[in-house]
């Protein structure tokens, strides 16, 4: 990601609202919910004393003790199974999978168990668990620790998937996920943890399945998720300098997807680029582009374009890694082309 703007103006931003980092907002959301509900516990690798490698959960073990902030062995499938089982028996677990790349190990628990049990038990059982994990490249973490695989779990009915971009959204979506009676997966972008933004002190949630227009515009819509919201906002700034007014829409959740807001924006601007950090092929961008093309077809003046990660294993080499993820410059070029300004 090309140096994201560390601040973002938010609709709830008001004078006097304190600034928290994305990581602090997650921490606060979990802590507040754990104080409210003793059935909530966290299980994962290095979640207790270490507070995760990204220090997001730092301090929680001091307040809630090792019984509720549980360090597990390296055993993703096991802890996901513990989470599903605990949720079925009435607990509200938060399972921490350190890298999104490792969700490959929890697929059976999530796809065949968590997603299906409510349906297959005729509604007798439910799985109110949260699976926290990460996404995002550009940390020089190489091919096995840099992927954004949120498309995989978004594909499965029975799972909800949130991909917050801002501290405000991260806290609101995390609280909504914890209170949801269904399994919810939250993908947190690793580079977003230090990003600061306004987070009000009062209790609030953001309903799952509600997109937000992060910037209004007239000429082109940039649908962007997670880290790509900053890329899109930066591109919109550059486009404004050459007289192209770009609207930035953040779906905030991939499942359920707020198709209505995406289509309404597409109808308004008649041009759309969908930007997501996951692999472009068979990815989130393809689904969203299809939903938009279907719903706004007769309002579109250009083909709906997708921009995602390059179809390669994310390289370790910084010079190469930076070329695999969409940049603001690439978005600007694509937008100019769609607006006939090349």
Partner 1 sequence: MAKEVIMPALGMAQETGELLRWFVEEGATVKAGEPLMEVATDKVDETIVATASGVLAGVLAKAGDDVPVGQVIAYILAEGESVPAAKVSKKAPVESAPPPQEKAAPSPQPPSGSGAVTVSPVAARMAAEHGVDLAAIPAKGGRIQKEDVAAYLESQQSAAAPGKVLASPKARRLAEEKGVELSTINGSGPDGAVLAADVEAWQPAAVVQPLPTTVAAQAAGAEIPMSRGWQVMAQRLTESWTSVPHFYLVREVDAGALQVWRTQALARSDVKITVSDLLVKVTAVALSRHPRVNASWINGKIVGNPSVNLGLAVAVDDGLLVPVLHNAEGLGLREIAAQRIGLVERAQSGKLAMTDLSGGTFTISNLGMFGVDAFNAIVNPPQAAILAVGKIADRVVAVDGQPAVRPMLTLTLSCDHRVVDGARAARFLDELAGLIEDPLRALE
Distances (CA, A) of 99 to 52, 53, 169, 251, 331: 11, 10, 20, 22, 27
Report CA torsion sign: 76, 81, 83, 86.
negative
Residues within the interface to partner 1 (CB under 8 A): 270, 297-302, 340
Distance of CA 106 to the CA centre of its chain: 18
Interatomic CA distance for residues 3 and 104, integer angstroms: 29
Nearer to partner 1 among residue 90 and residue 340 (C-beta): 340
Nearest to 236 by CA among 302, 127, 335: 335
Q: Give me 99's structure tokens.
A: 């890298």
Nearer to partner 1 among residue 37 and residue 301 (C-beta): 301
Contact 70, 41 (CB under 8 A): yes
Nearer to partner 1 among residue 89 and residue 342 (C-beta): 342
Interatomic CA distance for residues 55 and 50, integer angstroms: 7
Nearer to partner 1 among residue 82 and residue 220 (C-beta): 220
The residues assigned a catalytic role are 76, 145
Contact 33, 178 (CB under 8 A): yes
Interatomic CA distance for residues 40 and 132, integer angstroms: 14
Nearer to partner 1 among residue 233 and residue 288 (C-beta): 288
Q: Which residues contact 189 (CB under 8 A, 6 or more apart)?
A: 22, 134, 135, 136, 163, 165, 226, 227, 277
Nearer to partner 1 among residue 39 and residue 337 (C-beta): 337
Distances (CA, A) of 54 to 45, 82, 117: 12, 23, 32
Interatomic CA distance for residues 152 and 139, integer angstroms: 22
Interatomic CA distance for residues 258 and 252, integer angstroms: 9
Nearer to partner 1 among residue 157 and residue 298 (C-beta): 298
Give 179-213 as a DSSP string. Answer: H-SS-EEEEEEGGGTT-EEE--SS-----TT--EE
């Amino acid at each position: 990601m090309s140096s994201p703007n560390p601040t973002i103006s938010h609709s709830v931003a008001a004078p006097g609202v304190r600034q928290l980092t994305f990581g602090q907002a997650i921490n606060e959301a979990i802590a507040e919910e754990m104080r409210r509900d003793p059935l909530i516990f966290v299980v994962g690798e290095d979640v207790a004393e270490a507070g995760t490698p990204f220090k997001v959960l730092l301090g929680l073990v001091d307040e809630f003790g090792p019984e509720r902030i549980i360090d597990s062995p390296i055993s993703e499938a096991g802890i996901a199974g513990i989470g599903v089982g605990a949720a079925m028996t009435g607990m509200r677990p938060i399972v921490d999978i350190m890298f999104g790349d490792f969700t490959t190990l929890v697929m059976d628990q999530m796809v065949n168990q968590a997603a299906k049990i409510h349906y297959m038990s005729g509604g007798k059982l439910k799985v109110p668990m949260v699976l926290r994990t990460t996404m995002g490249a550009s940390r020089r973490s190489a091919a096995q620790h840099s992927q954004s695989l949120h498309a995989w779990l978004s594909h499965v009915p029975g799972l909800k998937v949130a991909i917050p971009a801002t501290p405000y959204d991260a806290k609101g979506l995390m609280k909504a996920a914890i209170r949801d009676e269904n399994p919810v997966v939250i993908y947190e972008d690793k580079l977003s943890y230090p990003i600061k933004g306004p987070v009000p002190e009062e209790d609030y949630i953001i309903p799952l399945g509600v997109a937000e227009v992060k910037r209004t515009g007239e000429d082109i819509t940039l649908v962007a998720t997670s880290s790509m919201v900053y890329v899109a906002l930066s591109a919109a700034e550059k486009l404004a300098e050459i007289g192209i007014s770009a609207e930035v829409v953040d779906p905030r959740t991939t499942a359920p997807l707020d198709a209505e807001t995406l289509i309404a924006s597409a109808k308004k601007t008649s041009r759309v680029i969908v930007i997501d950090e996951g692999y472009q092929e068979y990815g989130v961008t393809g689904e969203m582009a299809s939903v938009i093309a279907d719903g706004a077809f007769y309002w579109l003046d250009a083909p709906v374009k997708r921009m995602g990660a390059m179809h390669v294993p994310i390289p370790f080499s910084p010079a190469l890694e930076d070329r695999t993820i969409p940049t603001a410059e690439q978005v600007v070029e694509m937008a100019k082309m769609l607006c006939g300004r090349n």
